[in-house]
Amino acid sequence: MGSKYPVLPPEKVIKVLMKFGFSKVSQRGSHVKYKKDGKPARIVIIPMHNELARGTLQGILEQAGITLEEFMKKM
């Protein structure tokens, strides 16, 4: 049984998150922190590796409060 979450490069995920209002806050090593102000404020950490695993993308979207369907529409 396959996952519905795609394997994507982090740059593509960041591009979509920025469309949702996230902006870069800081970076430590290969991990970048993005934040969206509001209620509640959302913070996600993006590992800058070659590809993001399906489970990693799922976790990022959960932290961001974005559904996979909303994410795919903005790609």
Residue 13's region, left for phi above 0, alpha for psi from -120 to 50, else beta, is alpha
Rounded (10°) angle between helices 10-19 and 54-64? 20
* pLDDT of 74 above 80: yes
Residue 42: HSE in the Cβ half-sphere, 13 Å Cα cutoff: 17
Domain of residue 62, residue span: 10-74
- pLDDT tens-place string over residues 8-64: 999 999 999 999 999 999 999 999 999 999 889 999 999 999 999 999 999 999 999
pLDDT reported for residue 2: 55
* pLDDT at residue 3, rounded to an integer: 77
pLDDT at 63: 96
In a domain, 17, yes or no: yes
Is the residue at 3 inside a domain? no
Q: Which pLDDT band holds residue 1 (cuts at 50, 70, 90)?
A: very low
Counted domains in the chain: 1
CATH assignment of the domain containing 49? 3.30.920.30
Q: Is residue 2 part of a domain?
A: no
